[in-house]
Amino acid sequence: MGASRCPTSLQRGNELSFSSVLICVHLCQKSFVTSVKVLILGAGVAGVASAYYFWRDGHEVTVLERNEAVALETSFANGGQLSYSYVAPLASPSVIPKIPPWLLRRDAPLRFSPELDIEQWRWCLEFLAACNAKTADITTERLLRLSFYSRDLMHELVSTEAIEFEYVRNGKLVVHTERESFESARRLMAFQASLGCEQSALDARETVALEPALEAMAPRIAGAIYTPSEDAGDCWKFCNELKRLMTTRSNPVAYRFGVEVERHLAAQGRLLGVETSAGVFEADAYVLALGTHAPTLMAPLGVRLPIYPLKGYSLSLPIADERGAPRISVTDYRRKVVYARIGGELRVAGMADLSGRQCHIDVERVEQLVDEVKAAFPQASDFRELHPWCGMRPATPRGTPILGRTRYANLWLNVGHGALGFTLALATGRVVADIAAGREPRVPLEGFTLH
């Protein structure tokens, strides 16, 4: 049975706190199957991964999602990169001189359209405040710890479960077309080596020898950084496969689709339930994983989440010529476009538009992305089918997700993954399940919590 549904009245919450129940269960060395009820709010990759680890701990898990299936919003057609070594935040000193030209050019990788929205301006100011070397280095270090943990969990998952999501361990090439940016990438590589990244710097000839599909780009290549340990896959399939595991085994997770969460019902420092389009749902513990919609639900509780949507685009192009499409994932550093092979398609993703909250496709942006692919991999596709998509990255100014406790004892956060949700989802899901259970998380939470 999932979380209890009580449309007309709200029953009294559990007397025992969530952690004390778990500690008690742990001390008794009993199975967790009879333990606590957990409600996961949101079925994107963050919510699904959280549900997976709470389920693996033996809890009674229910997931509430307003759409009719998992991963239909930002986790649907993202870049597909499991980019464990490329977590450096957008907020860095090098971004400052690029901002004026980006503001002036319609085809800039980052676009800003001012809105009458105080949160947009607050986000921008906090972003600018984070654009200094010290903050960027600390953030990179923290994110690397989290992403390496995520990589370990992914490798454990794919070696223990038969799940099919076009997963490949294909490595990544970050291609630089400007000498200056290549030199600074080499410096970053040295910094990251001290944190455990294994990477190498290649000249243009070595780059094309490693990935022959880059032939057309060769005259523009100043150099590339190669990271053999990067993976790729289809995030939508990944979420569906995790859901399959959770719903076809014992103590199955209950997925309640078409349910819009409208309001948290809180009293005396605890959540008593959530009011939804399908009545009130109650549980012992709640995990908020609502992507860009999280701030709206938290604001009435007096909690501000510094998350703003950063719109991005993708194309999924059927591959026409095997040799024309890269096997290694490729990032065009200057244009901020990523390319990954997802099954028989080339997934191309890019653009970061700070342009309000409407998730509408801007045809001009799609055309720009098509032009990028035609210039980089002209033989990869016949460009008759594009499958354009846009999604809203739940971005925080510093680029770090917000995890863990809130001022409400039984409400936990797993939000704000920005451009790294697929990459970080397993680690953040595991960490939230651990801290909710009173266990020490494997990765220090400093920099990832609200306060």
Ligand X SMILES: Cc1cc2nc3c(=O)[nH]c(=O)nc-3n(C[C@H](O)[C@H](O)[C@H](O)COP(=O)(O)OP(=O)(O)OC[C@H]3O[C@@H](n4cnc5c(N)ncnc54)[C@H](O)[C@@H]3O)c2cc1C
Residue 208 or 305 with smaller CB distance to ligand X? 305
Residue 22 or 386 with smaller CB distance to ligand X? 386
**Encoded tokens for 294:** 């999280």
108: left (phi over 0), alpha (psi -120 to 50) or beta: beta
Q: What is the CA angle 170-174-180, rounded to 5? A: 165
**Encoded tokens for 381:** 């596709």
Residue 35 or 276 with smaller CB distance to ligand X? 276
In the complex, what is the shortest distance from the CB of residue 143 to ligand X, in angstroms, rounded to a whole number?
11
- Strand pairing report for 110-112 and 345-354: parallel
In the complex, what is the shortest distance from the CB of residue 30 to ligand X, in angstroms, rounded to a whole number?
32
Residue 273 or 312 with smaller CB distance to ligand X? 312
In the complex, what is the shortest distance from the CB of residue 415 to ligand X, in angstroms, rounded to a whole number?
6
> Dihedral sign, CA of 117, 120, 126, 132?
negative
Residue 198 or 260 with smaller CB distance to ligand X? 260
In the complex, what is the shortest distance from the CB of residue 382 to ligand X, in angstroms, rounded to a whole number?
23
In the complex, what is the shortest distance from the CB of residue 368 to ligand X, in angstroms, rounded to a whole number?
13
Residue 338 or 376 with smaller CB distance to ligand X? 338
In the complex, what is the shortest distance from the CB of residue 313 to ligand X, in angstroms, rounded to a whole number?
6
Interacting residues with ligand X (CB under 6 A)? 42-47, 64-67, 72-75, 78-81, 83, 260-261, 289-291, 293, 312-314, 338, 349, 391, 393-394, 417-423
**Nearest Cα residue to 7 out of 300, 253, 191, 259:** 259
Give the three-class secondary structure for 45.
Answer: helix
3-state helix, strand and coil shares in percent for the chain, rounded to the nearest 5: 35, 25, 40
In the complex, what is the shortest distance from the CB of residue 28 to ligand X, in angstroms, rounded to a whole number?
34
Q: Tell me the C-alpha distance between 323 and 175, whole Å.
A: 18
Residue 32 or 149 with smaller CB distance to ligand X? 149
**Encoded tokens for 42:** 């949101």
Residue 267 CB contacts under 8 Å (≥ 6 apart), including other chains: none
Backbone φ and ψ for 84, nearest 5 degrees, come out as -70, -25
**Encoded tokens for 330:** 């490729």
